[in-house]
C-alpha cells in the first residue's frame, strides 16, 4: 500500500492541488469561510479518475478493516457531495451491508439523515477530506438525531486531512487518513483582512472549482487570463 507522501504525490499529479506561485500578478483563492488562502485541494479532480477512486478506496478499506479489529459495521456513511461515492465504494470493499449519506440543509452546513436504523446499529463515517473535523461531526450528529439508538464507531476514515488526527471538533473520535498533511508538513495559510497577497495586488477568485484548470495554469504563468473567474472586491 502507498504511504501518505506517495498518495499526496499522486494527488498533485492528478491536478487536484493548486498552490499560489508567490507572484502577486497571479490570483489567489477565497474559501467558503471568506478567508483567502495560498493553497487549495479539489479532491474531486483526483477521485473523478476511476483508477484513482478504486485504488484509494481499496487502501482505505484495508486500513479501516484493520482498525475494526474483527468488529463489523452495519452501515457506511458519506458526507455530501464528494464523500458519497468514496464512502460507498469503501463500504462495498469492506463488505458493509448498507451504505448511506447525509444531505445539506439550511445554511448549507447543517446536515440531515433520512435513513432509519434499528437500535444498536453500528455505523462508520468515511470522508473524502476534512480540514477541522466539523463536517464529519455534523454527519454523526445528523445520524444520531434521526437514530438515537445507533452507535457511532470511535473513529472515521478520510482520504485526506488538513487537521490533527484527533481534532477537538470531532468529539472524542480519531481520524484514520490516507493522506495526513500535518504529518507531511504541508500547511496552507488562511487570512482575513490581513491577507498579504491582497496587499500586494493579487486578485481573489471566489469560484475556484469552476475555473480549476485555468487556475492551475497560473502556477506556471501568473499572467494567464481566467476569463470566467469571479473576483471578490479588493480589501
Does a structural domain hold residue 44? no
pLDDT at position 235 over 70 = no
Does a structural domain hold residue 155? yes
pLDDT band at 1 (very low <50, low <70, confident <90, very high): confident
Over residues 27-47, the mean pLDDT reads 95
Over residues 193-215, the mean pLDDT reads 96
pLDDT at position 234 over 70 = no
pLDDT in tens, 95-143: 999 999 999 987 767 899 999 999 999 999 999 999 999 999 999 999 9
Residue 32: exposure state from Cβ atoms within 10 A (0-12, 13-18, ≥19) = exposed
Q: What is the 3-state secondary structure (H, E, C) of 176-228?
A: EEEEEHHHHCCCCCEECCCCHHHHCCCCEECCHHHHHHHHHHCCCCCCCCCCC
Over residues 196-222, the mean pLDDT reads 97
Distance separating alpha carbons of residues 112 and 233, to the nearest angstrom: 34
Judge if 116 and 15 occupy the same domain.
Answer: no
Give the pLDDT score at 81. Answer: 84
Judge if 79 and 174 occupy the same domain.
Answer: yes
pLDDT in tens, 81-99: 889 999 999 999 999 999 9
User: What proportion of the chain, given as a percentage, has pLDDT over 70?
Assistant: 99
Q: Are 119 and 139 in contact (CB under 8 A)?
A: no
Judge if 144 and 109 occupy the same domain.
Answer: yes
Judge if 151 and 84 occupy the same domain.
Answer: yes
Give the pLDDT score at 123. Answer: 98
Number of domains in the chain: 2
pLDDT in tens, 134-190: 999 999 999 999 999 999 999 999 999 999 999 999 999 999 999 999 999 999 999
Q: Which residues contact 177 (CB under 8 A, 6 or more apart)?
A: 4, 157, 158, 159, 160, 161, 165
Q: Which residues contact 9 (CB under 8 A, 6 or more apart)?
A: none
Residue 6 domain boundaries: 1-38+189-235
- Assign residue 89 the CATH number of its domain: 3.40.50.2020
Judge if 161 and 204 occupy the same domain.
Answer: no
Give 133-159 as a DSSP string: SHHHHHHHHHHHHH-TT-EE-SEEEEE
Amino acid at each position: 500500500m502507498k504511504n501518505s507522501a506517495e498518495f499526496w504525490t499522486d494527488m498533485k499529479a492528478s491536478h487536484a492541488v493548486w498552490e499560489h506561485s508567490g507572484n502577486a500578478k497571479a490570483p489567489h483563492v477565497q474559501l467558503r469561510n471568506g478567508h483567502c488562502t495560498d493553497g487549495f485541494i479539489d479532491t474531486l479532480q483526483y477521485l473523478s479518475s476511476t483508477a484513482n477512486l478504486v485504488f484509494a478506496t481499496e487502501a482505505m478499506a484495508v486500513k479501516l478493516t484493520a482498525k475494526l479489529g474483527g468488529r463489523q459495521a452495519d452501515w457506511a456513511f458519506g458526507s455530501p457531495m464528494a464523500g458519497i461515492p468514496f464512502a460507498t465504494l469503501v463500504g462495498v470493499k469492506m463488505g458493509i451491508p448498507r451504505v448511506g449519506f447525509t444531505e445539506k440543509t439550511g445554511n448549507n452546513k447543517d446536515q440531515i439523515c433520512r435513513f432509519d436504523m434499528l437500535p444498536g446499529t453500528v455505523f462508520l463515517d468515511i470522508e473524502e477530506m476534512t480540514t477541522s473535523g466539523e463536517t464529519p461531526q455534523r454527519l454523526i450528529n445528523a445520524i444520531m438525531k434521526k437514530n438515537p439508538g445507533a452507535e457511532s464507531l470511535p473513529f472515521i476514515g478520510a482520504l485526506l486531512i488538513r487537521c490533527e488526527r484527533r481534532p477537538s471538533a470531532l468529539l472524542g473520535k480519531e481520524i484514520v487518513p490516507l493522506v495526513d498533511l500535518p504529518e507531511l508538513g504541508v500547511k496552507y495559510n488562511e487570512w482575513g483582512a490581513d491577507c498579504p497577497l491582497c496587499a500586494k495586488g493579487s486578485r481573489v477568485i471566489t469560484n475556484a472549482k469552476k475555473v480549476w484548470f485555468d487556475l492551475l495554469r497560473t502556477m506556471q504563468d501568473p499572467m494567464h487570463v481566467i476569463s470566467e473567474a469571479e473576483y471578490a472586491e479588493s480589501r
